[in-house]
Amino acid sequence: MKPVRRNRSMRAGGIGPDRLHVRSGAAWIACRGMAIGVLLLVLLHPVGAEPARRHVLVLFENNRLLPANVLGDRGITSALAEVDRSTEISTEFLDYPRFSGAAYGATVTRFLKEKYAARPPGVVIVAGDRALDFALNTRSELFPHVPVVHVGVARSYLASGPPLPDDVVGVPFDRDFGGTIGQALQWHPQARHLVLITGASEHDRNWEEELRRAAGRFEDRVSIETLAGRPIAEVLKRVKELGTDAVVVTPGFFRDGAGSLFTPADSVRLIAQAAPAPVYGPFVTFIGTGVVGGWMTSFESMGREGGVIANQLLAGQAPSALRLPPVMPVALHVDWRQIERWGIDPAAVPADAIVRFRSPGFWQTYSKEAIAVALAFLLQSLLLTALLVERNRRRRAQSSVDRYRFELAHASRLAVAGELTGSIAHEINQPLAAILSNAAAAEMMLESGTARPGELKDILADIRRDDLRASEVIRRLRALLAKHEVERQPFDLNEILSDVIALLGAEARRRRIALSARPASETITVVGDRIQLQQVLINLIMNAMDALADTPEEQRNVTVSLEGAATGATIRVRDRGHGITGDHLAKLFESFFTTKRKGIGLGLSIARTLVEAHGGTIAAESVPGEGAVFTIWLPRVVPGGSARIGAT
């Protein structure tokens, strides 16, 4: 929103009758009519109502470095620059109350009149009660018809005087002495003594009156002591004596009783340093001097409000057309260090309070780091969860694989048993037949009366031995075929060897193969499942016997040997069969690899799984045409050592 630039010099020295050039009668009449019209326009237009440029004069009532002025100036400047950065801002300081009196007023008036004669402002902003007074008294002489905006003027001050002219506008503020005292007593419920401190200047006296009035509301709750217009030394001496039941409320002062000059903020700093009791004040510039806080309007926001109004006036709006709030808002301002120092419950500080000097908490200081760490934790947890889920999945998969392997191993044993049916039946038939014939012989002896006790005893012994032989065959077979759970027991590998040889002996004889065993000379203890290891050996021996099918009878032999070593044992199954070619050797332990017409190709792959589940290894060697050797290595139990078995 750019303001319309108006040029007063044009109006004053622009198109005038003296500049008109008269050429003919008609033209002259026409020109004369225009000239009169223009002249009338110029004369009727109020001088000074239109600023020559976007020029704002800001008049502060006191000195340049007063903290309130610095803040107010910041607000005014920022609001004006928001509309036009090139706005010309002139700033003057009346320097009250250091300089005062009629002569001083006249001097300043003359100075300003001369200074701004050639560069009159479009709007005058006055900051403070006395600056407003000054403008009201001198504007007809200094800046007639220039609208005036007041900032930092107390509502009570406006109410005490006559109504302002229409073109003097602004939003007053309330010095919230009452709100500040009330807040202090609310946060210090133990307080019994309220101390009010004010100064000696005229300004200070006005504040004193207002403060006393506001404190009157609390008379029935606390005793009130007023230190008004005293020398600073006396004030500080009294303040130092205060007990913990006291609360100090002060607007600060410009001049003390001894005539020393202060800024209100500086006077309050001295008081707060000396007081062993909490100090409150109603001005935002006090925050940081040692006061706890108070209800106040920020000087910067007052300045901004004035700047915004000035922008509207510079844009051509009539002062009477402005819609302005009746008063500036107040807010509770606090110094967090003082809240902590006086043990005020943080929960009692309203959420909308304007808090300063709060050291950032852990979250504010390390929020980025905390988020990064939390994310890392989250990622780590997600990763761990994913790994756990994956592990469980694998476990479940592994257990079903184990189950299938177990079923397969069992099925494979059943298949072997099927192959052995003929020889096993023979194996059982033999002792049964022997039992039968022995029983018949004994019967005959008894019937013929030739039975001698010695002979009968031998016959019965034979029967018992044959019975044991048959039941041993059945025991071994049942053990092999039973669907038992995987065991983990220590046992001697030699026992397995003899069991397997006994189980397969009949089959070997049927095939006319010499099956021989060379057990170890010592006990070789392994830990594991004896049936599974039996199954491995049976598989290897059956394969060896298959490989001997075409071998001449006198060369058909299979040898199974067991040797112990320091940490393990080696079982070798050797045959003189057709052997295994190089390509086949590589695939031997793969599932479904078979060269047999009725083979399935699972025997060796199951054997390897079972051996590895016992922590062992299995390998094959062969010279084609000369036979094959299968070697199993198993860890043995050594004192102080251990052996493992996996589930199968």
Nearest approach, Cβ of residue 552 and ligand ADP (Å): 16
> With contact defined as beta carbons under 8 Å apart, do 356 and 287 qualify?
yes
Q: Which helix (H) or strand (E) holds 113?
A: helix 102-115
Closer Cβ to ligand ADP, 158 or 415, answer by number: 415
Nearest approach, Cβ of residue 523 and ligand ADP (Å): 28
- If we measure between CA atoms, which residue out of 102, 195, 200, 610 comes closest to residue 406? 610
Nearest approach, Cβ of residue 540 and ligand ADP (Å): 7
Closer Cβ to ligand ADP, 386 or 549, answer by number: 549
Nearest approach, Cβ of residue 578 and ligand ADP (Å): 6
Q: How does DSSP classify residue 87?
A: -
Nearest approach, Cβ of residue 412 and ligand ADP (Å): 9
Closer Cβ to ligand ADP, 578 or 614, answer by number: 578
- Percentages helix, strand, coil for the chain, rounded to the nearest 5? 50, 15, 35
> With contact defined as beta carbons under 8 Å apart, do 275 and 242 qualify?
yes
- If we measure between CA atoms, which residue out of 63, 67, 62 comes closest to residue 281? 67
The structure tokens listed for 542 are 């059956």
Give φ, ψ of 87 to 5 degrees.
Answer: -55, 130
The structure tokens listed for 114 are 């001369």
Closer Cβ to ligand ADP, 240 or 512, answer by number: 512
Closer Cβ to ligand ADP, 109 or 591, answer by number: 591
Q: Are strands 354-356 and 331-335 parallel, antiparallel or unpaired?
A: parallel
Nearest approach, Cβ of residue 573 and ligand ADP (Å): 7
Closer Cβ to ligand ADP, 342 or 593, answer by number: 593
* Interface with ligand ADP (CB under 6 A): 539, 543-544, 547, 575, 577-580, 584, 588, 593-596, 599-604, 628
Nearest approach, Cβ of residue 479 and ligand ADP (Å): 21
Closer Cβ to ligand ADP, 525 or 595, answer by number: 595
Closer Cβ to ligand ADP, 296 or 588, answer by number: 588
Nearest approach, Cβ of residue 543 and ligand ADP (Å): 3
Give alpha helix (H) positions in 552-602: 582-587
Nearest approach, Cβ of residue 507 and ligand ADP (Å): 15
Residue 537 class from Cβ within 10 Å (0-12 exposed, 13-18 middle, 19+ buried)? buried
Closer Cβ to ligand ADP, 422 or 490, answer by number: 422
Number of residues assigned to the chain: 648
Give φ, ψ of 162 to 5 degrees.
Answer: -70, 160
- Give every CB contact of residue 136 below 8 A, 6+ residues apart in sequence: 148, 164, 165, 168
User: Residue 290: how many CB atoms within 10 A of its CB?
Assistant: 21
Q: Are strands 246-249 and 279-280 parallel, antiparallel or unpaired?
A: parallel
- Nearest 5 degrees, angle CA 170-CA 176-CA 182? 160
Nearest approach, Cβ of residue 592 and ligand ADP (Å): 8
Nearest approach, Cβ of residue 608 and ligand ADP (Å): 9
Q: How does DSSP classify residue 382?
A: H
- Give every CB contact of residue 126 below 8 A, 6+ residues apart in sequence: 58, 59, 61, 132, 134, 135, 148, 149, 150, 151, 153
- Nearest 5 degrees, angle CA 477-CA 480-CA 486? 155
In angstroms, the CA 272 to CA 260 distance is 18
Sheet holding 279-280, edge to edge: 223-228, 193-198, 246-249, 279-280
Give residue number: closest CB to ligand ADP. 603
Q: Which residue bears the tokens 């290897």?
A: 540
Closer Cβ to ligand ADP, 245 or 612, answer by number: 612
Closer Cβ to ligand ADP, 420 or 580, answer by number: 580
Give φ, ψ of 157 to 5 degrees.
Answer: -70, -45
In angstroms, the CA 160 to CA 326 distance is 16
Nearest approach, Cβ of residue 572 and ligand ADP (Å): 12
Nearest approach, Cβ of residue 542 and ligand ADP (Å): 7
Closer Cβ to ligand ADP, 175 or 574, answer by number: 574
Closer Cβ to ligand ADP, 260 or 551, answer by number: 551
